Structure 1
């Protein structure tokens, strides 16, 4: 088959997801917690920093996407951007958690804001061209699903790195602020290496070099908005990822203040599972990888958006069980919840990621234009807004209900503050996940429709 991709190419491209998703894990899970418990920043202010620094990418995302669309080099349109983004991402990661001591909190907030702008811009420079590649690499509906299977594998690997390796490094490095500093250096070099590896591993990937008509950015966005499947998928992902961001922002607070890590069996501690957070990362991502072939099998016999609905419904229902978690919960119950969430997470990742290049390919069918970058830019903007809104909601919720920030010392949180944590992860997060389903039910891009329109 002309559009069939080699396994080495799929693996090489998928490897890039390890770096970009690790970046998201580090900020989504640890940034708000780090600022509130080690830098003495009020959760509402920390959430606002995360929100507004991501909001600045409103302009950069579509512009970088459009820039990559109009770039022609011997490396193709995408890989030069990926290389630059990978280098910058590693340096920004190190700077994010290695924070100088400032005399005033205003200078501290200014430093964090600048570093986060650089951090999210680096993510954009790498991730937009990266996500634009699959629609160029193959025109096969099912081959894109196979390609995304490898992406999900490395997304899960990033979950291991972000939720098991990172907190383990923090603990082994002595914990506290110093532990986070060491973790950032190691993780920064790891994510940089994976991004650069993907650049060279995709050197033989098919790429297009069609001239894009000289439309303005607003004209590009206007015509992109006429792509109904893309719009519906973007709205669904906006809502769904906002719920995911509520989970990731809240979970470190939950395992510290609302649950008991001493319930972890000794044999798991001996394997390096030093906290409930690292157990979450290991079990959830393990379940996701193990069940991925099952989701891939059904993706070949069912329409992807139908499978997406099943996966997100299961994920949302399982998420509601966080409301009933407490200090007395046995570890086996916690582990079973993580397994169930991991199973459905694999389905959500596979179907959602494979539907994006389908929707982008549909634009080429409709218009004859090659503008994968602009679509990836819009999609990345949606992703960033969602991942910024979650911490903003949680930050204000914690602050409103009396959470006390600290600079590393032990703080006894009020019952109201603890309740805010459960509201965030056990009610708000599942609500957003389930609220995305109506938009997925309206999605109508099928394999048959794509083939008919192509013909």
Structure 2
């Protein structure tokens, strides 16, 4: 590993970049649409599914939670194993690359599965529970395949620090637009108490998602240079290591483990806040479903406007420092949601929260690439798929956490599904889920970034120089 002179790499100016920027703007945009596809479905899923099954279908919240816990256990095997499988050479690798065939085979059918969650063909409680469990597991199976390969392509395709920052910025903006679309579009069609309206909203999401998946195809192509480098690495690496050997390697990487917790935190925020919006609008603000549109718009304005700021700061201060700022900012932005009940005040707070969350989303991909680069330097092998699969698995544990939080809080506060109004205790429970639990996770994440995570700009530069030297 190269020795750096004192001070070099402590700022992220032009000296830190070891690689050239090789991809066109259209390729970056096409790849970045993965952020849109990911987030429109994740938002629509997180906002709607629990509330739909509890308040519209009247499936007991305990059964909803059990389904999500089993879904999380399914993820324990599904995501990492699919990541490991996608890392392996197959008969399509030489012609199409390592990631592209997996993406095409999974992303297009994935876009349709969301609709099945809401088209329940049964009235029996047990059969409804089974339908929920099967559809969300199938949804996640296809999601994991395309998302794992999309994310794993990022550090392979975009090697330059500056290009990673730019693509991360594009992906963040499109991801935030997707998140807002997933929050904003369904309320245009949903009427509380009307199950059929949820099906109509799901059809609209499916049409938009399919278009995004098709437009992603150019950005997912792997160049001849990438294929040749991959095939040479396959020839040189010798005996294939097992899934559990890679898992052991990953669990020894402190920066990877910290990143996994940061990602869980981000997904806990995403799942709990989005899942709480229908409860916030219906019972705290006491307004119709289309009020969710204004909340979504406030979040979009705050988050998208923040992206250039966070990209600029990351290039000046480095990913680690800006991530610390962003996580702490979110803690303070969440605090007022424990108290406010006025729509205009809520919209202002959501605007500020969106600006803060922009930091977390802008750097989620560049920080992961920094972590992966460190592992590649230490192992001498590029196996992003397995670690991306582990990342997806840890992120999916947020669904288990959310399910447990919802059932515990709703049971302890005597929440009444579908009621015209809730007691003050139940309303406080909604606020706990909305703000207090995410605040706890973000505070812990800030401490981990501050005290444990050590990928400073100088260390990132060292890793990039070493990767260039070993041609990986």
Q: Provide TM-score, normalisation by structure 1.
A: 0.91
Partner residue of 1:443 out of 438, 442, 453: 453
In the TM superposition, what whole-angstrom CA distance separates every residue of 1:294-353 from its partner, at most 9, and x where no partner exists? Answer: 111111011211111111111111111111122xx1x33122101101111111111222
Partner residue of 1:396 out of 384, 402, 408: 408
Displacement of 1:176 after TM fit? Answer: 1.7
Other-structure match for 2:338: 323
- Asked if 1:69 is matched to 2:87, the reply is yes
Q: SS of 1:286's equivalent? A: helix
Other-structure match for 2:380: 368
- Asked if 1:301 is matched to 2:316, the reply is yes
Other-structure match for 1:268: none
Distance 1:252 1:393 in 2: 16
Other-structure match for 1:429: 438
Greater CA deviation, 214-223 or 232-241?
232-241
Partner residue of 1:86 out of 107, 112, 120: 107
Displacement of 1:218 after TM fit? Answer: 0.6
Distance 1:4 1:226 in 2: 33
Other-structure match for 1:48: 66
Other-structure match for 2:7: none
Q: SS of 1:261's equivalent? A: coil
In the alignment, structure 2 segments of 5+ residues that lack a partner are: 1-18, 467-472
- Asked if 1:338 is matched to 2:342, the reply is no
Superposition pairs of residues 350-365 of structure 1, within 5 angstroms: 350-365=362-377
Contact map agreement 1:28 1:248 (CA 8 A) in 2: yes
Quickly say closer, same or farther: Cα 1:290–1:198, change in 2 above 3 A: same
Q: SS of 2:27's equivalent? A: helix
Contact map agreement 1:156 1:286 (CA 8 A) in 2: no
Task: Give the paired residue count.
Answer: 435
Other-structure match for 2:204: 186
Quickly say closer, same or farther: Cα 1:98–1:443, change in 2 above 3 A: same
Displacement of 1:88 after TM fit? Answer: 2.7
Contact map agreement 2:33 2:215 (CA 8 A) in 1: yes
Other-structure match for 1:137: 157
Contact map agreement 1:250 1:394 (CA 8 A) in 2: no
Contact map agreement 1:36 1:405 (CA 8 A) in 2: yes
Distance 1:180 1:119 in 2: 17
Greater CA deviation, 160-169 or 200-209?
200-209
Other-structure match for 1:270: none
Partner residue of 1:156 out of 164, 176, 182: 176
Quickly say closer, same or farther: Cα 1:204–1:64, change in 2 above 3 A: closer
RMSD: 1.9
Partner residue of 1:105 out of 125, 128, 145: 125
Displacement of 1:240 after TM fit? Answer: 4.2
Contact map agreement 1:240 1:436 (CA 8 A) in 2: no
Q: SS of 2:314's equivalent? A: helix
Contact map agreement 1:14 1:151 (CA 8 A) in 2: yes
Contact map agreement 1:163 1:282 (CA 8 A) in 2: no
Distance 1:450 1:433 in 2: 24
Q: SS of 1:347's equivalent? A: helix
Quickly say closer, same or farther: Cα 1:83–1:55, change in 2 above 3 A: same
- Asked if 1:219 is matched to 2:245, the reply is yes
In the TM superposition, what whole-angstrom CA distance separates every residue of 1:247-299 from its partner, at most 9, and x where no partner exists? Answer: 2222211111111438xxxxxxxxxxx63322111111122112211111111
Other-structure match for 1:379: 391
Greater CA deviation, 195-204 or 210-219?
195-204
Contact map agreement 2:56 2:193 (CA 8 A) in 1: no
Distance 1:156 1:434 in 2: 23
Other-structure match for 1:242: 268
Contact map agreement 1:145 1:354 (CA 8 A) in 2: yes
